Amino acid sequence: MPGANLTREEAQERKSIVKAPIHYAVSLDLTQGATDFGSTTTITFGANTGASTFLDLIADDVTSITLNGKELDPATAYRDNRIELAGLLEHNEVTVTARCQYSRTGEGLHRSVDPSDGNVYLYTQFEVPDARRVYAVFDQPDLKAIFEFQVLAPQSWIVTSNMPVTSTQDVDHITAEGTLGDHSAESSRQWTFEPTPVMSSYLTAICAGPYAQWHTEYANEDGRTIPMALYCRQALKDALDKDADYLFDITKKGFAFYAKTWGVPYPYAKYDQIFVPEYNAGAMENIGMVTIRDQYVFESKVTDAYAERRVVTVLHELAHMWFGDYVTMKWWNDLWLNESFAEFMSTLATAEATEWHDAWATFSSGEKSWGQAQDQLPTTHPIVAPINDLNDTYVNFDGITYAKGASVLKQLVAYVGRDKFFEGINHYLNKHAYGNATLADLLAELEQTSGRDLKAWSKQWLEAAGINTISARVDENADGTIAALTLDQSAPAEHPVLRPHRLAVGFYNENADGQIVRTDRFELDVTGEHTTVEEAAGKKRPAFILVNDDDLTYTKLRFDAQSLEFAAENLYRFADPLARSVVWLSLWDMTRDGEFPAERFINTSLDALATEHESTTFRYALAQVSTTAHHYVVPARSADVAKNTAERLWKLAGKAQAGSDEQFQLVGAYLTYGVEGDERFRANAEGLLDGSVKLEGLDIDNNMRWTILKALAGVNAIDNARIDEELAKRDTTENREFAYGARASRATAKAKAWAWDQALHNGDLTNMQLEAVAAGFASTPREDLAKPYAAEYFNQVDWVWEHKTFHMAEALLEGLYPSYADPAELVRLGDQWLSEHADAPRALRRIIIENVESSRRVLKVRAYNEAL
């Protein structure tokens, strides 16, 4: 399978040929204009004498290739994004010179122009393997090498990379027209960086541009002083300046927490965090220089959930410096070793080392709900996923790899004990420092420290797909005491694995203040189909029995009938945020499984929102209520339920504490429920915009203003001219994205046709603008507007896959799915496409299967609610 893809077998074969030490000298010329940049790479490496292999490179123009002193003809040596290297010696040197292309999709070397000041910003994004878009490389994680970077850039820019700068030198060279956007040409400067430690190519990085910067230091546990820096666009300088000290503080707390927990100090020479525009991920763990989406620089008010998520993200990427960078997976099937561990550790660090003490409730509501939903799709896979090629890797950045994996690691800590777990991690990191490792390597260390046989545990938890369900069954004595409390475990037929669980069972009752609090707790091992909670026998039955108290394990929950009824009526009175989150997630899971009435879930959730203060739980509950109202409620009732939900959200916003996170979230949620002709909604939205309707403490800042404008566009209360007028007042990167989204949200056939065409065919859109258009297109809850695109969507799938990069194809195929069309028709068309494309790439089929499955679930849940 030649080309941009790479199979595991090809990677293994190349690994058997190419020998360490491997060294790269990479020289980039960023002064050549707005579309291309120069790339020259010299690689020295060992090899099996006489063998042949290949380099990876994605470039429009390869100008020269020299292998061991011999010139190769690029016209024959470079094909299908590969450079053929034949007749290798024991020691080899190859030099490749090429003109590579800047991207606007967040892949490779992305080029962004800030419309507010004309400044140009560059940054790299190389995961999965996109270093090959910037320089010639053996682009696979187990061919670690030393890298030396040299970069020619405009004199006014700064350039950063994985390592500190060794020297800069002004050069008598004028930048080409267009390099600096609308700014005048200027002289150039050459930046030279220290050699890296041995590392994987996907973790190398370059950023360049007139970034604003902040600096501090950290006294590392090994006695070294670690330089630290923050960077962002000049347009965001004032906003980041307010948070710079806080972000440095969070990062330093992470350094200390991880070094103490694992017994391994931070291993690299520096630590930069650079906030970059138009990023197609949350952040990336480049060694010594983490790139982060600059939506995490807060110019406008954000939810507490998003502010907490920024902290978790900072600590997630920092955790990767050890787990993923210092020790790296051999192949992408162990991607979870990176992501699950970083997600688990960042939540642990957030809860124990920062002010966000309820981070595990956040994890339950957010990450875990994502993992459970993913795990119930036909495309679910083991945490250790089978990765046959690079395309498989792309779609495995999912709820299994991140959220389920982190949940299972939390369960593993409970299973083996925290001290033994981290002792094993210490041994693992020290044993495989600067190298590559596998799941077997990790388990070997954990087995040795814990004394537990983890091979069977791994087969059940990491190497088998699917999720278990644990149900509580209560037998009572005549006096109201418990005769027997039994936990019944089941598994789906397609994944019939019963797992061992270390969990807790909590008894909850009302206290003197009317709150529901825990009054007893039992921790035990659950195995097989039936487990008796011995300690519960003879105790008075509580008002509510919470299986998986403290959320120690990963499972679906089904409460006994009495507890279920109590939870549905009293969720809002539960005092502990983690307990509320666990109960709420179970009610949601039952709702989307067609086992709990949709309208009752909405009412229970709205009641609970009146007293909920954990921001992520609040955020996810709002999203679940919206999905239920717009998709799961009986169609004949959907409009009335949505209108009633909107009215209750507005009332809750009016009663919320002035300026609170709850008020902010409630107003934002309310603004998504508009329908054309609802004059009260229009009056409220317009009133918020012009100041005639006021909610004390609610600031109509830039982002809230655009939220209101998008809501008005969605009910056709404003036209494109008004959107353009608003954008002209403050033309920024962010506001252009908001404007695209607002235009695409207009509830007219013409607007949807425009949005569809722009998303598919406007090659000038950045990745973030494309996503905004797609989201606006799909946001209108009207079947008549979505109906024309049901068949058209499936007609365009092949074209999108063929003509777009993977990330853009994924964004289009997920974002443009017309979910408000008739679900039965979407299922029919989707099943037809799948039957006709049995041989389509696995990654493409997975996207389509998951879209169609969402419509299939809508049909199932609606049928349940219609039968009530």
Q: Tell me the catalytic residues.
A: 317
CA dihedral for 535, 514, 573, 310, sign (positive or negative): negative
At 303, is the secondary structure helix, strand, or coil?
coil
Bridge partners of 531, per DSSP, are: 487
- 185's tokens: 């040409």
The answer to whether 584 touches 608, Cβ cutoff 8 Å, is yes
Would you give the distance in Å from CA 424 to the centre of its chain?
Answer: 28
Bridge partners of 151, per DSSP, are: 28, 191
Bridge partners of 486, per DSSP, are: 473, 532
Q: What angle do CA 331, 76, 21 make, to 5 degrees?
A: 40
Distance between CA atoms of residues 328 and 338, nearest Å: 8
Helical packing angle, 702-714 and 733-745, nearest 10° = 20
- 594's tokens: 């067609």
Cα(first)–Cα(last) distance of the chain, in Å? 52
CA nearest 97: which of 43, 178, 175, 51? Answer: 43
Distance between CA atoms of residues 516 and 577, nearest Å: 11
Q: 411-444: buried (b, 16+ CB within 10 Å) or exposed (e) per residue?
A: bbbbbbbeebbbbbbbbbbeebeeebbbbebbbb
User: DSSP for 500-550?
Assistant: -EEEEEEEEEE-TTS-EEEEEEEEEEE-SSEEE-GGGTTSBPPSEEEETGG
The answer, yes or no, to whether the previous bond of 21 is cis (omega within 30 of 0) is: yes
Distance between CA atoms of residues 699 and 580, nearest Å: 30
Helix (H) or strand (E) holding 586: helix 577-592
Amino acid at 184: S
Helical packing angle, 418-431 and 439-450, nearest 10° = 130
Distance between CA atoms of residues 72 and 126, nearest Å: 27
Radius of gyration of the chain (CA): 28
Count how many Cα atoms sit within 13 Å of the Cα of residue 437 in the half-sphere of its side chain: 27
Distance between CA atoms of residues 773 and 511, nearest Å: 51
Distance between CA atoms of residues 655 and 697, nearest Å: 12
Rounded to the nearest 5°, which phi and psi values hold at 201?
Answer: -65, -35
